[in-house]
Structure 1
Amino acid sequence: MLASIAAAATLGRLLCVLHLPLFHAMTSTPPRPADSSALDAVDVFIGTGGDGHCTPAATLPFGMVQLGPDTQHRSHRQAYPWCAGYRWEDDSLLGFSHTHFSGTGHGDLGDVLFMPITGATRLEPGYPERPFSGYRSRFSHEQERASPGYYAVRVLDHEVDVELTCSTRVGLHRYRYAAGENAKLILDLRSSIYDHNGKVLWSKLRQRSAHRFTGMRLTRGWAPARQLYFAIEFQQAPTLHELHNTETDVPYRGFRAPGHANPVGRKALEGRALVAAFEFGAVGQLQFKVALSTVSEQGALDNLQDIEGWDFEATHQAARAQWQQALGALELQAEPAMRQSLYTALYHALQAPSLCMDRDGQYRGPDGEVHRAEGFEFHSTFSLWDTYRALHPLLLLVQPEKKNADFVNSLLASQQHSPHGILPVWSFHGLETWCMIGYHALPVIADAYLKGVRGFDEQAALQAMLASSQYGAYAGVQAYMEHGYVPWDREGEGVSKTLEYCFDDWTLARMAKAMGQADIAAQYEQRAQGFRALLDPATGFARGKGSDGRFREPFNPTAAGYGSDYTEGSAWQYSWYMPHDGAALVGMLGGDAGLVARLDAIFEADTNAKMYGHMEDISGLMGHYAHGNEPSHHIAYLYAHAGAPWKTQQRLSAIVPRQYQCGPAGLAGNDDLGQMSAWLVFTALGFYPVAPASGEYVIGRPFVESATLNLPNGQRFHVRTEGLSERAIYVQEARLNGVPLPGPVLRHADLAAGGELLFVMGEHANTDWGQAPAARPLSQTPYEAAR
């Protein structure tokens, strides 16, 4: 098995090194399984280097466990490069923990870390630059392998071969020690990703039987008061175990500190700095399972039933089968490098929101209490500021209706349990972090409802959306309701907050109207126009405005960061965020030509990183366009609002090869739990959901020879190209089921019905296609006026 995975990984990386061209109302049925070549095309190491912050951990689609390697756990002042715990550029391993984020701009998790060791028992991890200074070990990428649901590496300093696989709630370890070696194992409950002082508030560890141990950790990291419970089952009972609290024990075997029990053979221990050592004798091979629960140790013990027996290969093959089924939603014909990038992107897009519920339906909510899901599976890890844009619209196309209904029901359950009575902002393990801006659960729910997803209480959903949009204590919402915009003298980052609140309100209006709630729809359609107060025709930017109605002075359109009027961006990146009202943007800039000129200026400006100072999220710069962060993701598609879709095709042809490459550093910025990846999947297919809940996609240009979406309603939607090549980047015409499309708009209803979208490509721009106002996306206000 290691040999076959090694061969696939080597071939994939070789194709990338060669830089091959990048060109050449829904009901639920399971997607077709992909053939193994699609599964083998995934390179889980893409995004593990640079600023991608992805993990190569073994996990399942939306799995609760992400079992994989950690190379560094750093303090909060140094943690940014290690948000996923693992970084390709490192050459030593801390161990293997069971929870990881993939592609976030903030770190946490890294729970229940194990490290196999030999020789002297060391309880401290040691230092990367000093081999044998602790239990840490060197490793080599030449002896590291990974594929969906599997990770393997050789721990060089201890000469142990590690293999990891998983079920939804359980991680399965298989370690092979040298013949005759006393197999040892360290369990470190102190270590945590984003490990600033005092993160571990309390932890417990106790022996349940000769083969089983359970425990918990209470942490205050990104999410406060997070409780995680675990259960360990060893195939072979340890011959000896030591339970240490390194705040009170001298950390070596056999020492009895005054007033404390001997750490050897302890049955239970509590404290803030627990670490355990296990010995098994010369067993050669060691296997053990670890189950997780946010509810209780008993819940973790019950979750061990996810994996019956000790057949590692069977568990691994079951994981591969689940990934094969999930990847089967998309069939691709593309150049090898593009095919690898796309299947890896789809793999990344299918990891969150992750399951956060025990086998019996119990889960922990944002109130810290235990609840039970009835009729749905509770999921958490919602990075909504990122994922409402493209990830959730993609999941509506590649996941069953039941799964998407589970996501909505999870949001509604969190709102019901929230001490504030609002929908999640950025949550994981059921808890709220309050990270980022907007109330972006609204477009996720509205888009799902308007695209036919049912299986949740739509009236409760509308009331939850209203509650979130009216919660005045959150991020300037009270000022927004009073003024129609967020004044800079009342709340920081007011321009960004206004623009995003307005879009969220528009999606609420769309859903209310579809439900026959005309009064609510009218109220929120008006709220959704509040951004117009910040548009300044004199400068052509959306600008901060005070409570007195005056624009903020002085004005610097490149000012970014904390203390500015913009979130993780500048006026150059954020002034174009009114995806529900392209007419307003055209109007502010004096017509079609004005919008085209301004968009050209964004991409063609002479900029560099120094212009924005140290802004970790302003990455992937092309002029002022910053693809490494979400506020820029729709910008290239805005040319369609001005009747110049050929310019979109031109810009996308430059963005894709620069921002997405094979190899560990292949992502220009954080994957943000699949948003960067979802952008690539949509863009490669030739269209993008600029305004979720609009019922339409803006057509760009394809990057694949052909593709088939196996939709959750059983229909198949085909994308086919004629004449595509490295130079033929322009759409000459597009035909839907043989009928020419007048412009760059694809309706979701047409996609959901199945059929074929044909792109005829050429080397020269067709500047006539898409000019007619009626053919433009969301080109009039209100939206329905264009129909």
Structure 2
Amino acid sequence: MKKLLLPALLLTPLLSLAQADLVKHVNPLVGTAKMGHTYPGATVPFGMVQLSPDTDTIPYAVDGKYNKDVYKYCAGYQYDDKTIVGFSHTHFSGTGHSDLGDFLIAPTTGRLQLNPGTEDRPESGYRSAFSHKNEVAEPAYYKVKLDDHNITAELTATNRVGMHQYTFPKSDEAHIILDLMSGIYNYDGKNVWTFVRVENDTLITGYRQTNGWARTRTVYFAMAFNKPFYQYGNKNYDEEQVYKGFWRKFDQTKNFPEFAAKKLRAYFDFKTEEGEKIKVKFALSPISTEGALANMRAEIPHWDFEQVKQQGQAQWNKELNKVVVSAEKDDLVNFYTALYHAFLGPTTYMDVDGKYRGLDMNVHQAKGFTNYTSFSLWDTYRALHPLFNIVQPKRNADMVKSMLAHYDQSVHKMLPVWSHHANENWCMIGYHSVPVIADAVMKGNTNFDANRALEACVTTARNNYYDGLSYYMEMGYVPEDKNGSSVSKTLEYAYDDWCIAQMAKKLNRQDIYEEFIKRSQNYKNVYDAKSGYMRPRLSDGSWKKEFDPLDTHGQGFIEGNSWNYSLYVPHDPAQMVAMMGGKRRFAQHLDSLFTMELPGRYFENTEDISRDGIIGNYVHGNEPSHHVAYLYNWTDQPWKTQERTRMVLKAMYKPTVDGLGGNDDFGQMSAWYVFSALGFYPVAPGSEHYAIGSPAVKSASINLENGKTFVIDVKNQKDRNVYVQRIELNGKDINRSYITHSEIMDGGRLTFHMGSKPNKKLMAVAP
């Protein structure tokens, strides 16, 4: 690794001639234990297919009551499980909600069983026991032995096609099961309809309609085998037996070319020789089976599994080489696994011809851009999209175009809140497409109509019907007796409004600027100077009497408490510091956040995060705290930012299966790591500034799409040397606690000189 990295760092132009093999530093199993909610399977950067094992399929309810185990399986896989049910083609990475898990495939031998069985009795169904000793997870590749069937399963993928390779023993009873009932976040009624058409003895097509987190989702597929099956069939699990059997004129259960039902499992039978490989290509489309077939033919027109794997890993190496770092072994795994997770989404959502299904359920054509879906914006606006504006600017501009297309198709005339697969889930709060768009505009990444984007942001922010906005516009805050999570909403709306104001100022829209810069000050309306905390107000203007800054129940906050959210004014930290008693008192407040003992009642939903994600009252597993360690830069003690960020890097990220201190939240946790390991962080997306922290790498080269390279060089890097002694930008000392986006994009060299004791005279100038 040193032979590859050091020449690249010293002679950065050589990076264009040869790429480092960085795939070997990625461990997709990181975060698959506890609550990281990552999946270990095969996918390519921003790929539409996420082909991954599911270790259980959990019903949403048991005996009519919510099943708490559902939360564990947001990604379909838990490392501690002993069995694998099968391999499905769609997964979220690191989310706190579940859906997807489409088209589960399970290879089996022996007597045909179409029930998945249970973990304690896997022999009662088609699932299989497995051992991690026989499991391999790499970018674009997954391998495992299914012990109960003596089958070695291998998975790889292109953007829109998953490829399976199953090595069978000698058997006259070899089966490949296609389960159209299985899914993540399952409940009775989720499947609206499934349809399978046997085109010939090697090609199957069909679709699945679901009513899950996304209420109206249809996914089409084409499934091809490298060997003809000799017989096939299905079982219809519909209790009501509606529409079964073409008006009962035919027996659909065996060797009939079409079958359809709400609850359906199909099977395809083979006879295999010892070591014979049955290969499956499985293509997806949001439009049609014809689109799925076209995707398959375009992306995998052959049966060479190894070629697909190598091409997928080459794609990963290309993306990972956008940031080439030198670091200790564990830190390399942490860094490149984080960068890998950051590049898993949002995901492509269109066929190879550019067609996709829109929010209006009509077919649209993406002209001149890639359409993306799965926008977990309450999480990802904070660091993931700002990271993209540095290392994936073209993709990020296309993501903005995708958001604007969503807006055009929305009957509410709203930008996305949490959207996926042509649906708006309305999950979480705020209108956080706005900071994503504003960050792109302010940083000059505007391969889209910026004025049109501004109008979409303004229209979204003026929507009288959305989540307490009418109260916010009328009263300057959201009243808790009228709309829950009122303080969180007020604070987040105020920040989003500041982003609109910044865009308007840059685009010379003074009228819009004045309206929204005024709205951005609404955070002051929920600050109670007497208690020193942000606090819920009622519609009569009074403070809600029952108040505990550590509690979340009915206190006006979401995924946080008053102590955390009182620090959420990312767009105006200097004023926040003054409002809360000045620099010294504010620094003491931050100190207590990291050192206090947090009562167990912190979360309204104790599933949401484990104790592993908490340092004192600082909750790294929930995003409202992600900027907090950097706020010392606005006090007279900026060295504490350096100390705290290095502490969080060590405590919350490890190269182990339980190495994430909370949900990765579609790459936000990972993007925090990437930024912080490089030594800076976007406290307020929509600003050009990045707050300085303490780098954890020895050196880094950020290879920009504009052809330039920004080098980070860290002198005297050691575990104990967490404090910045001096900073040079292109050979000149800078005595400030920030760098700018323009300085990064211009290329050059940022040099950190580190030491074991703080330099209290350094970085006196905050952003």
202, 208, 211: which is aligned to 2:202?
A: 211
Aligned to 2:8: none
Structure 1 distance, partners of 2:678, 2:537, is 40
Shift of 1:37: 3.5
Structure 2 distance, partners of 1:152, 1:369, is 38
Shift of 1:260: 5.6
Q: Secondary structure at the match of 2:495?
A: helix
Contact 1:161 1:175 in 2 (8 A): yes
State the aligned residue count: 741
Which letter does structure 1 place at the counterpart of 2:306?
A: E
Q: Secondary structure at the match of 1:432?
A: coil
Q: Does 1:157 align with 2:148?
A: yes
> 1:448-487, aligned counterparts within 5 Å?
448-487=440-479
Which letter does structure 1 place at the counterpart of 2:496?
A: D
Shift of 1:455: 2.0
Aligned to 1:52: 36
Q: Does 1:512 align with 2:512?
A: no
Q: Secondary structure at the match of 1:684?
A: helix
Contact 1:735 1:757 in 2 (8 A): yes
Contact 1:423 1:464 in 2 (8 A): yes
Q: Does 1:494 align with 2:478?
A: no
Q: Secondary structure at the match of 1:243?
A: strand
118, 122, 132: which is aligned to 1:127?
A: 118
Label 1:249 to 1:152 Cα distance change in 2 as closer, same or farther (>3 A): farther
252, 255, 272: which is aligned to 1:282?
A: 272
Which letter does structure 1 place at the counterpart of 2:565?
A: Y
Contact 2:35 2:663 in 1 (8 A): yes
Shift of 1:606: 1.5
Shift of 1:31: 8.6
Contact 2:559 2:603 in 1 (8 A): no
> 1:176-325, aligned counterparts within 5 Å?
176-247=167-238, 261-283=251-273, 284-305=276-297, 306-325=299-318
Structure 2 distance, partners of 1:235, 1:706, is 47
> 1:741-760, aligned counterparts within 5 Å?
741-760=734-753
Cα RMSD after superposing both structures: 1.9
Shift of 1:258: 7.3
> 1:626-775, aligned counterparts within 5 Å?
626-771=619-764, 775=765
Label 1:544 to 1:520 Cα distance change in 2 as closer, same or farther (>3 A): same
Structure 2 distance, partners of 1:681, 1:220, is 36
Contact 1:33 1:327 in 2 (8 A): no
Shift of 1:481: 0.7
378, 381, 384: which is aligned to 1:385?
A: 378
Q: Secondary structure at the match of 1:681?
A: helix
Contact 1:346 1:678 in 2 (8 A): yes
Aligned to 1:148: 139
Cα-to-partner distance string for 1:712-748 (whole Å, 9 max, x where unaligned) = 2111111111112111111111111122121211111
Shift of 1:454: 2.4
Task: Identify which range, 439-448 or 611-620, moves more after superposition.
Answer: 611-620
Aligned to 1:98: 89
Cα-to-partner distance string for 1:105-130 (whole Å, 9 max, x where unaligned) = 01110000000000000010001001
Structure 1 distance, partners of 2:488, 2:141, is 41
Q: Does 1:528 align with 2:555?
A: no
Aligned to 1:368: 361
Which letter does structure 2 place at the counterpart of 1:511?
A: M
Contact 1:559 1:571 in 2 (8 A): yes
Shift of 1:377: 1.1
Structure 2 distance, partners of 1:638, 1:481, is 29
Q: Secondary structure at the match of 1:182?
A: strand
Aligned to 1:413: 405
Which letter does structure 1 place at the counterpart of 2:573?
A: G
Identity, % of aligned pairs? 45
Aligned to 1:20: none
Q: Secondary structure at the match of 2:107?
A: strand
Cα-to-partner distance string for 1:667-708 (whole Å, 9 max, x where unaligned) = 010000000000000000000000011100000111011011
Label 1:503 to 1:91 Cα distance change in 2 as closer, same or farther (>3 A): same
Aligned to 1:5: none
Contact 1:34 1:328 in 2 (8 A): no
Aligned to 2:6: none
Unpaired runs of at least 5, structure 2: 2-12, 61-66
Cα-to-partner distance string for 1:342-372 (whole Å, 9 max, x where unaligned) = 0000000001110000111111111222111
Q: Secondary structure at the match of 1:55?
A: coil
Shift of 1:32: 4.9
Shift of 1:197: 1.6
- TM-score, normalized by length of structure 2? 0.94
Structure 2 distance, partners of 1:719, 1:649, is 16
Label 1:490 to 1:33 Cα distance change in 2 as closer, same or farther (>3 A): farther
Aligned to 1:19: none
Shift of 1:247: 2.3
Shift of 1:315: 0.7
Aligned to 1:26: none
Shift of 1:131: 2.9
Structure 2 distance, partners of 1:34, 1:66, is 29
Structure 2 distance, partners of 1:360, 1:560, is 48
Q: Secondary structure at the match of 1:609?
A: coil
Which letter does structure 1 place at the counterpart of 2:233?
A: E
Structure 2 distance, partners of 1:66, 1:611, is 34
Which letter does structure 1 place at the counterpart of 2:54?
A: D
Q: Secondary structure at the match of 1:707?
A: strand
Structure 1 distance, partners of 2:109, 2:225, is 18
Structure 1 distance, partners of 2:636, 2:744, is 23
Aligned to 2:591: 600
- TM-score, normalized by length of structure 1? 0.92
Q: Secondary structure at the match of 2:606?
A: coil
Aligned to 1:781: none
Shift of 1:609: 3.1
